[in-house]
Amino acid sequence: MTRTLFFLSFFLVLTSCSVFNSVPQPTHEFRGFWVATVVNIDWPKNGTDAIEKKKTDYLNILDFYQKLNFNTAIVQVRTAGDAFYQSEYAPWSRFLTGDEGTPPKHQENLLSWMIDQTHERGMEFHAWLNPYRATFDLKTEVLSPEHDFNQHPEWMLKYGKKYYYDPGLPEVQQHMANIIEELVSNYDIDGVHYDDYFYPYTIKDEVFKDSLSYYNCGLPDQSLEDWRRSNIDSLIKKSYDVIKTKKPWVQFGVSPFGVWKNKSTDPKGSDTRAGQTTYENLYADPLLWMEEGWLDYIVPQVYWSMDLPVASHRKIVAWWAKNSGQTNLYVGNGPYKIRNNSDKAWQKKKELPKQLSLARETKEVLGNVFFSAKSLMNENKDVVRLIKRRYYKQVAYPPEQSDTTNTDSPLPTLQSFRFDTNSVKLIFDDLDRLRFAYIFPAQGGELSNKKLIDQVFINDKKNLQISRDKLKGKKKLSIVFTDKFGKKSEPIVVHLKQTN
């Protein structure tokens, strides 16, 4: 009897422990990671590194997150008035080349290579830009003569230990729209992404000296605060419009500071006591942007622990779920804090997993984004094992874009196929509107992502190549396509019969 009770108790302990409970694996979920390049946080390790090392280090990031079944890389390509690609509007970044304004020593287009490598691993590539930070510090002597600090000093405002573009100047807003147009036109990106830096975070006893712009550009009877917010509204709308004019399928997303307003200053605000807020300090109003349909997705940065009294992750996620409307909502998580923060909750390996559980339980939340890429790569392997085993066991499709007005892409028709030495090439009539192909063994019933053979980026209007190693002799496949807007097709069955 005693032995029976012991085993019964042991069984109850095991089954009641959340680590061993099964977690449903969604078929659609945004799984992103931010690759910060400013001061070489994540990549490259050093701007002076050889291109071979830069490539190796970037692939190490991609391969790590591919093994975790992530599907989106958000890579910083503009940090402070610079560019990680050849641009008409900004000098080469010193964080990429080691010397501001000096082009790379190699001829290869590194950004195009990075996008291709990201796509080859079944991930989307979102280009992350910081719009208004002009310098990272006051060492302006390191800036290129082509930097806007030198070309347009009338655009610059010093605040704290940095220079910023004046968001109130129409020519500055147009400059940012030109930068976005150039990037979207020249690169096969899947999204454009702004972070939380609009007007700078407030510094006590310092004044952001935009009074002249306010005097010249403000409307009659418009308060300084409302005028500043209208400037950011204008930036967001201009950015959205230029993206959709050039390539309607390219997504536009913003990751604002997690607290819009505290309830103490507005009944509509969250039950928090944040020292600064998006609306009142950064002069950004993402609720308006979502209401107007200027965003495809939003990623509030909710980097606090689940039950932190002043800013509870749990309460903030619930607030955004209530206020996100029809815009795709993803939660920004801060794994960089794991065992590296004064908040003791981050000492526990289950803090991040609990946040992922909350996201899965909140129907309005369609995914998560981690800051930053390196935070899980070298440390906290126990946390990595846990989230892999429980939350990211299998591949997930990225969510469909929130704009449902786009027409469905017609299913392609297979014309023929050919076995090569290392792959099988499928020739279709038209793949132009499609983005990814997901390959499954053909079998009855609903296709499970657990059975996924391969996911292939479609970079050819006619041909689709699948590795023979991954097919393992299978002669009957089901293929699901997603188009450039993220819409998923019905599966088509392909019969392969080798004739050569």
Judged by average pLDDT, the poorest of 7-16, 289-298, 379-388 is 7-16
pLDDT digits (tens, 9 = 90+) for 432-477: 999 999 999 987 767 888 889 999 999 998 999 999 888 888 889 9
Beta-carbon contacts of 386 under 8 Å, excluding residues fewer than 6 positions away, are 19, 349, 350, 353
Residue (of 36, 5, 1, 27) closest to 335 by Cα position: 36
Predicted local confidence at residue 496, as pLDDT: 87
- Of all residues in the chain, what percent carry a pLDDT higher than 70? 93
Neighbouring-strand partners of residue 417? 426
Average pLDDT value for residue range 11-21? 47
Domain extents in the chain: 19-390, 414-495
Mean pLDDT of 266-282: 98
Confidence category of residue 196, pLDDT binned at 50, 70, 90? very high
The mean pLDDT of 383-387, rounded to a whole number, is 97
Amino acid at 207: V
> What pLDDT score was predicted for residue 11?
45
| Pair of tokens at residue 219 | 């409307």
**Fold designation for 414-495:** Immunoglobulin-like (2.60.40)
316-330, 353-367, 377-391, 400-414: least confidently modelled range? 400-414
Q: What is the mean pLDDT of residues 367-379?
A: 96
Tell me the mean pLDDT in the region 42-63: 98
Kindly report which listed range (22-31, 101-110, 271-280) carries the lowest average pLDDT score.
22-31
Element (H, E) at 30: strand 30-35
**pLDDT of the residue at 326:** 93
Q: Quick one: pLDDT at residue 143?
A: 98
Report, at the CATH architecture level, how domain 19-390 is classified. Alpha-Beta Barrel (3.20)
pLDDT tens track for 210-229: 999 999 999 999 999 999 99
Residue 55 vs residues 91, 106, 373, 379, 456: alpha-carbon distances, Å? 21, 12, 15, 22, 21
Task: Write down the mean pLDDT value for the chain.
Answer: 93
pLDDT value of position 10: 45
Angle among Cα 481, 483, 484 to the nearest 5 degrees reads 145
pLDDT at 40 > cutoff 50: yes
pLDDT greater than 90 at residue 500? no
pTM for the whole structure: 0.94
Confidence band of 24 (pLDDT split at 50, 70, 90): confident
